[in-house]
Amino acid sequence: MTFELQFADSASNARTGLIKTDHGQIETPIFMPVGTAGAVKGVHFAELIEQVKAQIILGNTYHLYLRPGIETLKKAGGLHNFNGWQRPILTDSGGFQVFSLTGIRKLSEEGCEFRSHIDGSKHFFTPENVMDTQRIIGADIMMAFDECPPGKSDYEYAKKSLALTQRWLDRCLKRFRETEPLYGHKQSLFPIVQGCTYKDLRVEAAKFVADKEADGNAIGGLAVGEPTEVMYEMIEVVNDILPKDKPRYLMGVGTPQNLLEAIARGVDMFDCVMPTRNGRNAMLFNSEGTMNMRNKKWENDFSPLDPEGCTIDRITTKAYLHHLFKAGELLAMQIASIHNLAFYLRLVKEARSHIAQGDFTVWKSQAVEKLGRRI
């Protein structure tokens, strides 16, 4: 994987770039739709390509390991062959999912024992076998196995957790370097910066990760309940240290406003379930704010969802989508998910354009003000 910086904003740390992988190029800043179990909920790959304009999607190691299982994925020749998506894929290591299984997991120096949320069966993740699993999945970008501590962890717990994450990272890197890709395309490994909301721990973590000289780096453990301004502060602290010539991935974030503020602070890659999850619950994002499509005000509004949006936005009226949600039609969730994902991808594309033009900061301030409105 290579990363080429293209344009930089003179009034902020925003920048554009180009990631090149064996499965295609990724223009940054980029938003990556979440395909947890190898599928983006309610959205076919044809729609992801033609309507959403997705350049890369995510898979999740924990979920794919449990279902369909690594034997099936290996027989298929990896996730690209299994699900038919022939563009880049990034896999989360499953650390966040494992550590969210409060009460059914046991943490040790060696790794983490957990029980499946599906059938209660017992499993054990280590840095080594998580690397092996991601080799079998075949993602273009693999993530290191880390502990994601609770957002409100006290300092001592956060410090011990970070030390464990760092020891695990060394083991991940060792296993990654000892093994080879299985399907003929190159894979990259991103370390993850943790440290909760403690500045000194984030500084330590970022320096530790920067020294590894990986193809890219991730920032984890944010947007987990801390105030938004604290999240932005932690991003600034970390990005002051992480290499400028490598892509920076902010994990699990967030709202459209979050994306623009993080781009201004030097972030290149994002993922979040919000566009599809909120869409399934009738919340639509657009450049003027958010709309609840269950509200009666849309009942007789025959204007398109977005006249400047994707094809589905232009041919679907607000009144029709309101009707679909009221009637409990599955099509409602599908249209809303496509709309939201397409909007997120257009938003980062517009950000790239304004960075290149040199007026990103002015545009961002105006856009953020409108994005928070309820329509």
Cβ burial of 165 (10 Å; 0-12, 13-18, 19+) is buried
| Pairing label, strands 2-8, 15-21 | antiparallel
| 245 appears as a binding residue in the annotation | no
| 221 appears as a binding residue in the annotation | yes
Q: Report the C-alpha gap between 362 and 15 in whole angstroms.
A: 15
Alpha helices in the chain (DSSP H): 45-47, 61-64, 70-76, 79-83, 95-99, 127-137, 155-178, 199-210, 228-239, 256-264, 274-280, 311-315, 318-327, 330-357, 360-371
| 116 appears as a binding residue in the annotation | no
Q: Report the C-alpha gap between 157 and 155 in whole angstroms.
A: 6
| 268 appears as a binding residue in the annotation | no
| 372 appears as a binding residue in the annotation | no
Phi, psi of 118 (to 5 degrees): -85, -50
Q: Report the C-alpha gap between 260 and 246 in whole angstroms.
A: 19
Q: Report the C-alpha gap between 301 and 303 in whole angstroms.
A: 6
| 95 appears as a binding residue in the annotation | yes
Residue of 105, 225, 95 whose CA lies nearest to 169: 95
| 17 appears as a binding residue in the annotation | no
| 42 appears as a binding residue in the annotation | no
Residues catalogued as catalytic:
92, 271
Annotated binding residues for substrate, written as ranges, equal 92-96, 146, 194, 221
Annotated binding residues, written as ranges, equal 92-96, 146, 194, 221
